[in-house]
Amino acid sequence: MKQSEVKGLSVAELQEELVKAKRTYTDLKMAHAITPLDNPIQLRSLRRAVARIATELTNRNGEQ
Protein backbone atom coordinates (compact mmCIF):
# COMPACT_ATOMS: atom_id res chain seq x y z
CA MET A 1 0.00 0.00 0.00
CA LYS A 2 1.42 3.33 -1.06
CA GLN A 3 1.56 6.41 1.15
CA SER A 4 -0.86 8.26 -1.15
CA GLU A 5 -3.39 5.44 -0.68
CA VAL A 6 -2.94 5.56 3.09
CA LYS A 7 -3.55 9.32 3.24
CA GLY A 8 -6.84 8.92 1.36
CA LEU A 9 -8.40 6.59 3.94
CA SER A 10 -10.45 7.55 6.98
CA VAL A 11 -9.37 6.65 10.52
CA ALA A 12 -11.83 3.73 10.68
CA GLU A 13 -10.60 2.40 7.35
CA LEU A 14 -6.99 2.75 8.49
CA GLN A 15 -7.68 0.76 11.64
CA GLU A 16 -9.39 -1.95 9.59
CA GLU A 17 -6.50 -2.06 7.10
CA LEU A 18 -3.99 -2.23 9.96
CA VAL A 19 -5.67 -5.28 11.47
CA LYS A 20 -5.89 -6.97 8.07
CA ALA A 21 -2.25 -6.20 7.19
CA LYS A 22 -0.97 -7.43 10.57
CA ARG A 23 -2.93 -10.67 10.22
CA THR A 24 -1.62 -11.23 6.69
CA TYR A 25 1.96 -10.48 7.79
CA THR A 26 1.72 -12.94 10.68
CA ASP A 27 0.28 -15.66 8.44
CA LEU A 28 3.00 -15.18 5.82
CA LYS A 29 5.72 -15.12 8.46
CA MET A 30 4.55 -18.44 9.89
CA ALA A 31 4.23 -19.96 6.43
CA HIS A 32 7.76 -18.80 5.63
CA ALA A 33 9.08 -20.44 8.80
CA ILE A 34 7.64 -23.79 7.74
CA THR A 35 8.43 -23.67 4.02
CA PRO A 36 10.23 -20.83 2.24
CA LEU A 37 8.01 -18.43 0.33
CA ASP A 38 8.35 -18.05 -3.42
CA ASN A 39 8.76 -14.30 -2.94
CA PRO A 40 10.13 -13.46 0.54
CA ILE A 41 10.13 -9.75 -0.39
CA GLN A 42 6.40 -9.89 0.38
CA LEU A 43 7.31 -9.95 4.07
CA ARG A 44 9.28 -6.72 3.81
CA SER A 45 6.59 -4.92 1.82
CA LEU A 46 3.87 -6.00 4.25
CA ARG A 47 5.95 -4.97 7.26
CA ARG A 48 6.48 -1.56 5.70
CA ALA A 49 2.77 -1.24 4.87
CA VAL A 50 1.92 -1.94 8.52
CA ALA A 51 4.41 0.74 9.57
CA ARG A 52 2.95 3.27 7.11
CA ILE A 53 -0.59 2.69 8.34
CA ALA A 54 0.41 2.80 12.02
CA THR A 55 2.37 6.01 11.46
CA GLU A 56 -0.55 7.68 9.71
CA LEU A 57 -2.87 6.67 12.57
CA THR A 58 -0.42 8.10 15.11
CA ASN A 59 -0.12 11.34 13.15
CA ARG A 60 -3.88 11.73 12.91
CA ASN A 61 -4.39 11.01 16.61
CA GLY A 62 -1.75 13.58 17.49
CA GLU A 63 -3.51 16.31 15.49
CA GLN A 64 -6.74 16.03 17.45
CATH number for position 41: 1.10.287
Q: How many helices (H) and strands (E) does the chain have?
A: 3, 0
Confidence of residue 56 (pLDDT cuts 50, 70, 90): very high
What's the pLDDT at 63? Answer: 73
Residue type (1 letter), 6:
V
At 38 the three-state DSSP class reads: coil
Cα dist. 50→12, 32, 62 in Å?
15, 18, 18
Instruction: Please choose, from the candidates 58, 25, 30, the residue with its C-alpha nearest in 3D space to the C-alpha of residue 44.
Output: 25
Reduced DSSP (H G I as helix, E B as strand, rest coil) percent helix, strand, coil of the chain, to 5: 80, 0, 20
Record the pTM. 0.88
- What is the domain range of residue 43? 3-63
Counted domains in the chain: 1
